[in-house]
Amino acid sequence: MKKTAFIFPGQGAQYIGMGKDLCDNFEQAKHVFEVADSILGKNISKLCFEGPEDELKQTINTQPAIVTTSIATLEVLKSKTGLKADFTAGHSLGEYCAMYCAGVMGLETTLKAIQKRAELMSSVSTGSMAAVLNATEEQLDAGLKEGSKFGYIDVANYNSPVQVVITGDSNAVKAAGDFMLANGVKRVVPLAVSGAFHSKYMESAGNKFEEFVKNIQLSDAQIPVITNVDAEITTNAEDFKAKMPKQIYSSVYWTKTIQKMVAEGVDTFIEIGPGKILAGLNKKIAPEAIVYNVFDTESLENTINTINEQVTKV
C-alpha cells in the first residue's frame, strides 16, 4: 500500500517573495498571512514578500516567516487536492508545521509557539555552526575529536548520509572544520546563524520554552508525526510537550526520520513550504522515493498534474 508524507523545511529555506504568489491567488493562503500579521504583531507578510533580506534572515523573523509560508502553502494544497498525509515531519522549526498539519496545534497556537521559540533562540548568541559535506564517519569523528580540544562541539543535524551540521564553540567548530578540510573532506560551509542551535548552549532557551509549553493547549495527533529528537512516531499530546523544549538543544535526526517513514511504507514525499532543500536531502537518503515540491502556484499545479497522471496510469 503506497503512503504519502508531508514534510516541512526549516531555517535556511527562506527567500524574499516566498508565499506572495499563493497569497495573491488563493484565499486560503491570504487568510493564513492575515492571521499571522495579527497574532505576531508585525507585518510578517511584508517581510516574506518584500524583505529586506537582512531582517528576513534574523532568527526572530525567519522562524515565524517560514512557518507562516509553509502553513499557507499547506492550506492551498489541501483545498486544491484533498490530499491527506499518512505521516508528517518537519526539519527543526518545520516540526511546528508538521504538528499543525497533524492537528496537534491550531494556527494561533502554532504561531505563538514558534514566535516564542524564535525569541528564546535568538537571545542566545554563543557559538557557531558549519555544514560538513561528504565526510566519512571516521573523518567526522576525527574532526569532532580535534575540535573538542578547543571547546565544546557536537552534531546539530544529521541531514543526510552526506551532510551533517556541527555546532558548538566558534573556535571548536572552526578547528574541526579546518582539520577535516586538511584531511580529505572537500567542503565545510560556515552557516549564517545567530548562535549554536541544537547544542547545549540552547538548554536555557529550552528550559524557558518548557515553561511556555506547559500553558498551551495541545491535542493528540490525527496523523503520526516523526519527531526530530528521536525519529520516532509521536501522537500523544503530552509527548509533544516533552519533546518541543528538548528539540531546541538536541540533534535533529533527519536522515533517520526519512528512513523511518520509508520503513513504514512511505514512497511519496511532498515538501511543503519555501525552497527545495528537503527534496535535495531526500535524494541522498531515499533515492527510490518520489518527491514533490509545493511552494508557489506553478509548483502546485505541476504537483497536482503529475499526481493525477500517476493515478490515471494506475
Which residues are part of the catalytic machinery? 92, 198
Distances (CA, A) of 93 to 25, 115, 159, 180, 215: 26, 11, 14, 29, 20
For residue 82, the tally of other CB atoms under 10 A from its CB is 7
d(CA 125, CA 196): 8
Greatest CA span in the chain, whole angstroms?
59
Q: In what order do the strands lie in the sheet with 163-168?
A: 153-160, 163-168, 128-133, 187-190
- What residues pair up with 133 in beta bridges, in sequence order? 163, 187
Q: Are 168 and 196 in contact (CB under 8 A)?
A: yes
Give the dihedral sign, CA 195/127/139/175: positive
